[in-house]
Chains A and B, each alone.
Chain A
Amino acid sequence: MQPSNEQLLWMYETMLLVREYEETMVKVYLEGKLPPHIQKGLAFDIASGPVPGEMHLAAGQEPVAAGVCAHLRKEDTVVGTHRPHHFAIAKGVPLDRMTAEIFGKTTGLGRGKGGHMHLFDPDHKFSCSGIIGASLPPACGAALAAKKSGKDWVAVAFFGEGAANQGSFHESLNLASLWKLPVIFVCEDNKWAISVEKRNATAIASNADRAVAYGMPGIAVQNNDALEVFEAAGISVARARKGEGPTLIEVKTDRYLGHFQGDPEVYRPKGEVEQLRRDDPIVRLGGQLRQRQLLDDARDKTIRARVHGQVEQAYEFARKSKYPNPSEALEHVFV
C-alpha cells in the first residue's frame, strides 16, 4: 500500500509539527524550575513554573504517530501513553486546548484537571493514561463498541516495549483475538523503559513474535521510518476494517530525550542520542519527498512557517488563558 501525495505531505508536516512542539516544550518546561527562582540548594524544582509536574516528550518517535494516524479517520479511536503529544497531534487534537491543558488552564481539554498525561478529547476520540499498559483495554472497548454498532471504525492502542510485559498487554491481546476486535496494537520499542533496556526486561527479542501466541499477525517494523510504519499500519487497519481482527505491530523507534524532562540519563551510553539524531526520520522523509518532486525549498519553508505559527499560537493561547477557580476542584467528579 503506497501513500498518496497528500498522505506523504501530511506525514511530513505532522512530524515537523510534533518535533517543533516537543523541542519548544523542552525550553518552556524549564521556565521557573532552575535557580535562583527555586528553593535554595536545589538544582531543579519539578513543582515550579508554568508547566509543573512530569513531562515526557516524544522527539524521535514521530514516525510511529504519523505512519499510523495517516490511516485513521476522526471516528477511529486512539488511546495513548504517558508520552502522548505525538499521538494527540497526529490524531488532530487541537493544539491550543492541548497546550492549555498542559499549562493547567481552564481552557484546557480537561479544564486543567488532567494535565500532560491525561489528555481527553472525545471529539477526536483521543485519550491517554499515565499508567503503563493501560491503553490496551480501553482500546479493546472502543473496538467492541465499533463492532457492536456495525461500523468499520477501528481503535489503536499505543504502548511501549516495557508495557508489553504488563498483564494488561497479555489479557488484551487474547481478548481482542478471541472476540476478533477491530483494534491495532502498536508497540513503540524505543529500547528504554526509563533506564532499563529492552534486553534486560523482555525475555524474547521481538514483541512481534508474541503475536502468534495470541492468534494474531505480528509485524516487526525494523526502522524508525514513517513509510515503513505506514505500510504496516495500512495492512493492519485494513484487516480491522474488514472484520478480520487485531494485529500487533512493533516499531523500533528512537527516544531522543530522557524518559522525563530533567532525566540526567546517566544510564544511557555516551553518544547514543547524537548517533540516533544523525538518522533523523523527518530529514529522511523530506529527502524522499524531494526525490518525488513533492517538496522543494520554497514549499519546505512554507510548511515550516505554518508549523512554527501553530506552535507559537498554541503556547501563547495557553499562557494567556486563565487558571481555574480553586472551587472548581470539587466539580466534575460525577456528571
Chain B
Amino acid sequence: MATTRKLTMAQAVAEGIAQEMERDARVFVMGEDIAKYGGIFGATGGLYDRFGPERIMDTPISETAFIGTATGAAAEGMRPIAELMFADFFGVCMDQIYNHLAKNTYMSGGNVKLPVVLMTAIGGGYSDAAQHSQCLYGVFAHVPGLKVVVPSNAYDAKGLMIQAIRDDNPVMYFFHKGIMGLPWMAYFEGATTEVPEESYAIPFGQARVARAGRDLTIVTLSQMVHKALVAAEALSKDSIDVEVLDLRTLVPLDIDAVLNSVRKTGRLLVADEDYLNFGLTGEIAALIAERLDSVRLKAPIQRLGVPGVPIPYSRPLEQAVIPQVAHIVERCRTLMGAKLAHAA
C-alpha cells in the first residue's frame, strides 16, 4: 500500500513539478520570485534548494520575454514551466500566449510541438481588489489552442500538474490562492488532502463527482467546489440532496459528466468565480440547451458568477459580488421551487 500524507495544494503542485523534474531533465521552471522565494503562492516551494538556479530560474519582470522564451525553448525540445504570477497580469503578455503559444502548432499543421505549462494564480475573496483577484480561465478557454486545467484540491493538483508537464501541448494551469493552504491567507481546508508519495497523472477531460446527489447538480470548479460542498451540507438538513461536480479541466471539457448528472437530477446550477457574462456558466448552459432533445430539465438553469463588475476592494462589496455559500444555497432553493414554462 503506497504511503500518503496530507499536503496543501501548494505543496502538491511543487511535488508534482519536482517529480517530473527528477524524471525528465528537459523540464525547468521560469518565473518571478520562483527561486529562493518558492513562488509567491508556494507553487515552487523547495525546488530551488533541490534543483538550483540552472533549472529554477528567477526572471526579470518581463512576461512577454520569458513566456516567449518558454515557447521558443519548447520548440527546441525543452519542457518549460513558466509562472505568470497573477492571471490578472496576462494583459502584459497575452500576445505571446494566445497568438503564439496557442497557435503555432496549428499554423504549422501540427509540425511544431510546444510542451509548455503556464501556471498562474487566480481568485479573490481576500480584498486584493480588481487587478489581483480575477479568475479569467474563461478567456483562455475561449481562445483556441490552450488546454485549461483548474484543480480544486491537493490530490488533483499533483496529478493534473504531472499530466500537464507530460502533455506535448500548451497547458494553462490555474491554482486558486484561496485553496493553496498558504500560512498567510484564510483557505478552505478541504483542499488539503491525502496525496500519494508516488507519481501519478490524472487525465484531462475527466470531471469528478465531489458529492453524489439526486435532487440538483452544481457544476463548478476550483475554490467554488468547497463552497458548493458547504452549501450542500446545509441543504441536506432540508432534505435537498445536492450533487457537486468538479470539472477539473475546461479544455478539454467533460461534457458527458455534466450531461449524466443533469439527466439524473434535472436541475442545474453552474457556480463560477469568473465573470458571469460571456463565460463558463453560459457555455455549460448552452451545451445543455443544445441537447434538450435528450436532457429533461425540471427548472430553468441557474448561473452564478461575478456579475459584470470589477472586483471591489471593500469587504462587504467583494463578498456581495463573488459568489458565496449563501448565494449558492439561495439559488439551489430557487431551483427546487422553480418550474419550466411548459412542463413536460
Are B107 and A334 in contact, with the CB atoms below 8 A? no
Smallest CB-CB separation from B112: which chain A residue?
Answer: A120
- The CA-CA distance from A175 to B112 in the complex, in Å, is 24
A108 within 8 A of B: yes
B235 to chain A, nearest CB (A): 39
Q: Known contacts A111-B109, A113-B108, A134-B100; is A148 also within 8 Å of B72 by CB?
A: no
Q: Is the CB of A141 within 8 A of B74?
A: yes
B108 and A114 contacting across the interface, CB-CB below 8 Å: yes
Q: Which among B74, B96, B107, B113 has the greatest number of chain A C-beta atoms within 10 A?
A: B107
Q: Are A174 and B69 in contact (CB under 8 A)?
A: no
> Which B residue sits closest to A112, measured CB to CB?
B109
* A333 and B106 contacting across the interface, CB-CB below 8 Å: yes
Q: How far is the CA of A110 from the CA of B104 in the complex (A)?
A: 10
From the candidates B28, B96, B109, name the one contacting A137 in the complex (CB within 8 A): B96
What is the interface size of chain B, counting residues whose CB is below 8 A from a CB of the partner?
A: 43
CA gap between A332 and B60 in the complex, in Å: 33
| Interface residues in B75-126 (C-beta closer than 8 Å to A) | 75-78, 80, 92, 95-96, 99-100, 103-113
Say yes or no: A113 contacts B107, CB within 8 Å. yes
Taking a contact as CB atoms under 8 Å apart, the answer to whether B73 and A168 are in contact is no
Say if the beta carbon of B62 comes within 8 Å of chain A.
yes
How large, as a class, is the contact surface on chain A? 35 or more
Interface string of A149-188 (1 = CB under 8 A from B): 0000001000000000001100110110010000000000
Known A-B contacts A134-B100, A174-B60, A175-B59; A140 and B68 likewise in contact (beta carbons under 8 Å): yes
A141 touches B75 (CB 8 A): yes
CB–CB B107/A118 < 8 A = yes
Q: How far is the CB of A246 from chain B (nearest CB, A)?
A: 12
Give the distance in Å from the alpha carbon of A333 to the alpha carbon of B92 in the complex.
24
For residue A127, CB closer than 8 A to chain B, the reply is: yes
- Assuming the A-B contacts A141-B73, A178-B60, A334-B147, are A136 and B65 also in contact, with contact meaning beta carbons closer than 8 angstroms in the complex? yes
Residue of B nearest to A178 (CB): B60
Contacting pair B100 A129 (CB below 8 A): yes
Q: How far is the CB of B206 from chain A (nearest CB, A)?
A: 16
Q: Is the CB of A141 within 8 A of B72?
A: yes
Q: How many whole Å from B277's CB to the nearest CB in chain A?
A: 26
B69 and A141 contacting across the interface, CB-CB below 8 Å: yes
Is B324 in contact with chain A by the CB < 8 A criterion? no
- For residue B168, which residues in chain A have a CB less than 8 angstroms away from its CB? 335
The yes or no answer to A145 lying at the interface (CB within 8 A) is yes
Chain A contacts for B104, CB-based, 8 A: 118, 120, 127
Tell me if B169 is interfacial: C-beta within 8 Å of chain A.
yes
Are A142 and B76 in contact (CB-based, < 8 A)? yes
Query: In the bound complex, do residue B110 and residue A155 qualify as a contact, i.e. CB atoms below 8 Å apart?
Result: no
Query: B75 and A113: CB pair below 8 A?
Result: no
Instruction: Flag A104-129 by CB within 8 Å of B: 1 or 0 each.
Output: 00001111111100101110010101
Contacts of A172 in B (CB 8 A): 62, 64-65, 68
Is the pair B73, A120 in contact by a Cβ cutoff of 8 Å? Answer: no
Interface contact B73-A145, CB-CB below 8 Å: yes
Q: If the complex has contacts A131-B95, A145-B76, A335-B113, are A113 and B69 also in contact, measured as CB distance less than 8 A?
A: no
A175 touches B65 (CB 8 A): yes
Q: Which residues of A contact B69 (CB under 8 A)?
A: 137-138, 140-141, 144, 175
**Interface contact B111-A134, CB-CB below 8 Å:** no
A248 at the interface (CB under 8 A from B): no
A114-B107, A122-B111 are contacts. A144–B73 as well, Cβ < 8 Å? yes
Tell me whether B310 is interfacial, beta carbon within 8 Å. Answer: no
Q: A131-B100, A333-B144, A335-B105 are in contact. Are A137 and B64 (CB under 8 A)?
A: yes
Q: Which of B59, B72, B74, B112 has the most CB of A within 10 A?
A: B72
What is the CA–CA distance of A77 and B75 in the complex, to the nearest angstrom?
10
Cβ proximity bits B156-189 to A, threshold 8 Å, 1 near / 0 not:
0000000000001100000000000000000000
Look across to chain A and name the residue whose beta carbon is closest to the beta carbon of B72: A141
Residues of A contacting B74 in the complex (Cβ-Cβ under 8 angstroms)? 141
Assess the B78–A145 pair: CB atoms within 8 A. yes
Residues of B within 8 A of A167 (CB): 64, 92
Collect the chain B residues with CB atoms within 8 Å of residue A148's CB: 28, 54, 73, 78
Known interface pairs A79-B72, A141-B71, A333-B144; A175-B105 also in contact (CB < 8 Å)? no
B62 partner, pick from A108, A109, A175, beta carbons under 8 A:
A175
Does residue A139 face the partner (Cβ distance < 8 Å to B)? yes
Q: What's the least CB distance linking B107 to chain A, in Å?
A: 4
**Does B231 sit at the interface, judged by CB under 8 A?**
no
Q: Does B66 contact A (CB under 8 A)?
A: yes
Instruction: Check A331 for interface membership: any CB of B closer than 8 A.
Output: yes
Q: Which of B121-138 contact A (CB under 8 A)?
A: none
Q: In the complex, what residue of chain A is closest to B145 when comparing beta carbons? A: A333
Residue A25 CB within 8 A of the other chain: no
Closest to A157 in B: B72
In angstroms, Cα B104 to Cα A142, docked, is 15
Cβ-defined contact, B72 with A155, below 8 A:
yes
List the A residue with the shortest CB-CB distance to B63. Answer: A171
Please give the distance in Å from B49's CB to the nearest CB on chain A.
Answer: 20
Judge if B67 is at the interface, Cβ distance under 8 Å. Answer: yes
Determine which of A108, A138, A155 lies in contact with B109 in the assembled complex, contact meaning CB atoms within 8 Å: A108
Query: Which A residue sits closest to B62, measured CB to CB?
Result: A171
Asked if A16 lies at the interface with its beta carbon under 8 angstroms from chain B, I say no
Asked if residues A334 and B169 are in contact (CB atoms below 8 Å), the reply is yes
Given A129-B100, A332-B105, A335-B105, answer yes or no on A137-B68 (Cβ-Cβ < 8 Å). Answer: yes
Partner of B72, one of A118, A120, A139, A168: A139
- Interface residue? A146 (CB, 8 A): yes
Question: Which chain A residues lie closer than 8 Å to B113 at the CB level?
Answer: 335
B70 within 8 A of A: yes
Interface contact A137-B65, CB-CB below 8 Å: yes
Q: Is the CB of A171 within 8 A of B106?
A: no
Other contacts beyond A141-B76, A172-B62, A335-B168: 11, CB < 8 A: A108-B109, A110-B108, A118-B103, A118-B107, A127-B108, A127-B112, A134-B68, A138-B68, A143-B72, A144-B73, A145-B72
Identify the B interface with A (CB < 8 A): 28, 54, 59-60, 62-78, 80, 92, 95-96, 99-100, 103-113, 144-145, 147, 168-169
